Structure 1
Amino acid sequence: MLAPYACHPDQSRGRLHQERMSSFRSPFQRDRDRIIHSSAFRRLKHKTQVFVEHEGDYYRTRLTHSIEVAQVARTISGVLGLNTDLAEAIALAHDLGHTPFGHTGEDALGLLMQPYGGFDHNAQALRIVTRLERHYADFDGLNLTWESLEGIAKHNGPVTGPNADKKHAGPLPYALAEVNALWDLELSTHASAEAQVAAIADDVAYSHHDLHDGLRSGLFSEADLMDLPVTGPAFAEVDALYPGLDKMRRRHEALRRVFGRMVEDVIAVAHNRLSAAQPKSVDDIRHLGTTVIRFSKPLYQELKAIRSFLFHRMYRAPSVMAERAKVTRVVNDLFPLFIAQPDRLPDEWRTDVRAATDEVTLARIVADYVAGMTDRFAIQEHARLFGGVEGR
């Protein structure tokens, strides 16, 4: 049974291109399935979270991260009476627009694209699902429902208006503006509770797995985590229950407690905020002026301490920074080469290139191509065209 404030499939605002309803899948199940079967989703297998894809088989990639986010989103949505299929669809799509090499690649491409309207991975995900996936006879993109597009566009909150995050100041990313011009996504309001769940599930997943990956990489140790909130008590609880437990089991038992603490906190806060707000519809959720899915203030402050630790000990570790410099050069070399010599793009991109009437349009086509590369392919292309990067 769905709550009254959930997104009900029979009340969906539909699709930009009208289609017959499926006889055995809801509109949101259909969205989820189209995302899973998309080329962009498959490419996430070889795209980075923190470590470059080739550095080890056990580190998270964008694909494994997206699957973990979807699992958390389904769990939280189910407890709260929300539409689990929609939450899962948004969770699976939220990273489709990421470049190779994670945020390092996005930072590099963002600087290169500044003269041409910038680059934003959330907006790029919309561009992928509305334009760049070209498999269907009747339309470009995946023709997702309005609710899924809304969730991709503003799962992190309003993009315009008084409630927008300060990081959204300035003009809309062009990819988002193009989609919004076709179909008003109501960018000044909050998204559905399902989209909010997808956003918090992202925070839960990466907070958990970055601790795992940082430990596995040797950038810090379990002893370092004993001094932090949340992680320290989790390890202490495991030590009390299982004295002498071997290292890997101890690590897993402690970090799954960290994971559980975050999920339980989100559910408790959501119950309290929903009980206080008494929303009667999904539009009530959108117009509350605040989120209903969030961490409690005490846990949020504790997680800030963990993120600060990860920033200094992992994201800005000397070995990670050295790799960031190498892969930044890959993007910095490839993008201007394709701008200057677009004939070097693959055949399937030539039609778009020939239709480009100005440098801005050409740059956005090149950005689509470079952003769609996997870590592995970007490194291989750079080696083919430039002879590789020193140190590889």
Structure 2
Amino acid sequence: MAAPRAPYACDPDFSRGRLFLEPPSRTRSPFRRDCDRVIHSTAFRRLKHKTQVFIFHEGDHYRTRLTHSLEVAQIARALARQLGLDEDLTETLALAHDLGHPPFGHAGERALDACLKVHGGFDHNAQTLRVLTALEHRYPDFDGLNLSWEALEGVVKHNGPLCERDGTPLGGYRESGIPAGIREFDAVYDLQLWSFASLEAQAAAIADDIAYDAHDIDDGLRAGLFEVDDLKVVPLTADMIAAIDRAYPSLDEARRGAELVRGLISYLIGSVISEAGKRLEIAQPRSVDEVRRYGDQLISFSPAVAEAEAGIKAFLKLRMYRHQWVMRVMGDAEKIVRDLFGRYLDDGQTLPAEWREGAEPESAPARARRIGNFIAGMTDRFALMEHHRLFDSTPELR
């Protein structure tokens, strides 16, 4: 049963609005409108052929960025419903969080970051913001989707503040600095990069972690990279496997794995709701602005569950992400991205007409970023087709 709207939830009736003024919808709240715009975007459709871990042709049952985003949205809405948050905004953030990822998963991101290193690098969160505010061309009066301030804030800050109040970068941006795409947009439309995001954004972020843990286990089992019993080295999953075996001593391996994944999702959702309840009871925020100013994440794993969850991530890193076969395929994928970037940079005429340089003179950084934007939008399949078109030999990624 859904909890009533909490005083610390984002209220669509009090949204800070949009960068470009639009008349309100007669039938939808601002946050529902945001969600619908994401779902109908070109970038969202492309997620169906963008890789999580396995390349698109390796099997119909492995996750893609699209199916992952849908699963994140389901988990995020479950959290929002129990915590009295706005489900539409939470769903918007869950569905939009991967729009900036390039083809071939983290391998593609590493390659693009290297290609763009002298021009500010590549950051998928900054690229998501570019997609939502500039690269989608669906409306006559503005570029992007013109989402609400709350949606853009949540996309950029779902993992916490990006800087101190004085602008000093935090976390992963401490050394590299806040990406130019975020800095430049923030100068036009202040997203308060120094503050925490709404609880809706925090719910979407932790839902992403839960989905990754559970569903990468599912895909790894399906691919034969490890077996259910291998997960007994992780205390949390060891206890779950023991309980499954006691309840179903003759269960086949496929159902055993599915039961583990189902149980893990339920356990992690329940633990987040419990921990969030405790933190909210201590913090007593009376508004979403008090959430932003509180100074810490309010939706999180408890320390004990965070340690257990880190054990799952360590297992997956060793047995899946660093598996010899996965590493070889991802190495070939990185080469494809590097090859494409180099060819487009050397010969702009190899780009589609709409991505070639316009009439105005263009700086080297702007040209490199334009090429990066084009590659980041590619699906795995299209990147392979482009490499076939431009090069004599293309890795098979198998």
Q: Please indicate the TM-score interval, normalised by the length of the shorter structure.
A: over 0.9
Aligned residues: 391
Matched with 1:157 is 160
Distance 1:25 1:356, change over 3 A: farther
CA offset at residue 227 of structure 1? Answer: 2.5
Structure 1 gaps of 5+ residues are none
CA offset at residue 63 of structure 1? Answer: 0.3
Q: Which amino acid aligns with 2:112?
A: L
Q: Which amino acid aligns with 2:42?
A: S
Matched with 1:56 is 59
2:313 counterpart (295, 302, 307):
307
Residue 18 (str. 1) matches residue 21 (str. 2): yes
CA offset at residue 254 of structure 1? Answer: 1.8
Output the TM-score relative to the length of structure 2.
Answer: 0.96
CA distance in structure 2 between the aligned counterparts of 1:268 and 1:166, rounded to whole angstroms: 26
Q: Which amino acid aligns with 2:351?
A: L
CA distance in structure 2 between the aligned counterparts of 1:167 and 1:317, rounded to whole angstroms: 25
CA offset at residue 179 of structure 1? Answer: 1.2
Q: Deviations over 1:264-322 (max 9, x none)?
A: 00000000000111000001000110000000111110111111111111101100011
8 Å contact from structure 1 (residues 229, 306) kept in 2: no
Residue 237 (str. 1) matches residue 235 (str. 2): no
Divergent runs of 4+, >4 A: 162-165
Matched with 2:360 is 355
Matched with 1:224 is 230
Matched with 1:119 is 122
The alignment partner of 2:211 has SS state of helix
CA distance in structure 2 between the aligned counterparts of 1:136 and 1:368, rounded to whole angstroms: 19
Residue 378 (str. 1) matches residue 365 (str. 2): no
Matched with 1:38 is 41
Q: Which amino acid aligns with 1:225?
A: L
1:201 counterpart (189, 198, 207):
207
Q: Which amino acid aligns with 1:72?
A: I
2:265 counterpart (259, 274, 283):
259
CA distance in structure 2 between the aligned counterparts of 1:105 and 1:56, rounded to whole angstroms: 20
Matched with 2:149 is 146
Q: Deviations over 1:61-118 (max 9, x none)?
A: 0000000000111110010000010010011000000000000100010011011111
Identity of aligned residues (%): 51
Structure 1 residues 266-277: aligned runs within 5 Å: 266-277=272-283
CA offset at residue 223 of structure 1? Answer: 1.3
Matched with 1:175 is 181
8 Å contact from structure 1 (residues 69, 198) kept in 2: yes
Output the TM-score relative to the length of structure 1.
Answer: 0.97
CA distance in structure 2 between the aligned counterparts of 1:181 and 1:53, rounded to whole angstroms: 38
Matched with 2:107 is 104
Matched with 2:132 is 129
The alignment partner of 1:355 has SS state of coil
Structure 2 gaps of 5+ residues are none
Matched with 1:321 is 327
CA distance in structure 2 between the aligned counterparts of 1:387 and 1:355, rounded to whole angstroms: 33
